[in-house]
Amino acid sequence: MSIMWSLHLRRDAASVPLARRLLIGSMDTAGVDPDISYDLSVALSEACANAVEHGGAGSPAPESAYRVTAYLDGERCRIEVADSGPGFPARPVRSVPMTAPQDESGRGLDLIEQLSDHAHFGNKPGRAGAVVSFDKILKWRKDAPLVAV
């Protein structure tokens, strides 16, 4: 079983819960365990919030867009959020220690790492923009209608 969807969203705070609800709805329909769905939806919310806040600094229009793509493929879900902002700094973002509890900046990336099995933070090759991708092994409800075989 494979499900893939992609959204092209305006950099607006209202787009974050929309993306989250679509992910939760598709995972619930497929029969994914609610705890896994919740973890991925929180990670997605953090990635989308970063795209809304930072993803347009390099683009001329403040209402520039970002893209969310989700793949449920077999036993894994992979999510990618790409924006058109300035991207991550030249040095690797994850080489810095975990942020201090009082720091407001950077906690979303730490949370994405903690809630997923694998996370990658990088820049679009050859053009402006950041790409945040993460994945998690899926668990299924006993009554899952679309469980992987």
Domain boundaries, the chain: 1-87+106-135
pLDDT at site 82: 95
- At residue 64 the predicted structure's pLDDT band, cuts being 50, 70 and 90, is confident
Residue type, 37: S
Residue 4's CB is within 10 A of a number of other CB atoms, namely 11
Asked if pLDDT for residue 5 goes beyond 70, the answer is yes
Confidence (pLDDT) at 96: 43
Report yes or no on whether pTM surpasses 0.75: yes
pLDDT in tens, 31-47: 999 999 999 999 999 99
Name the region of 44 (left: φ>0; alpha: ψ -120 to 50; beta: rest): alpha
pLDDT reading at 110 higher than 50: yes
1-87+106-135 fold: Heat Shock Protein 90 (3.30.565)
More confident residue, 48 or 55: 48
Per-residue confidence band for 61, with pLDDT thresholds at 50, 70 and 90: low
Q: Answer whether 32's CB lies under 8 Å from 72's CB.
A: yes
pLDDT of residue 125: 82
Residues 63 and 113: beta-carbon distance below 8 Å: no
In Å, what is the CA distance from 88 to each residue of 56, 67, 132?
13, 17, 10
> In the chain, pLDDT over 90 holds for what percent of residues?
60
**For position 74, what pLDDT does the model report?**
84
pLDDT at 92: 52
Integer-rounded Cα radius of gyration of the chain = 15
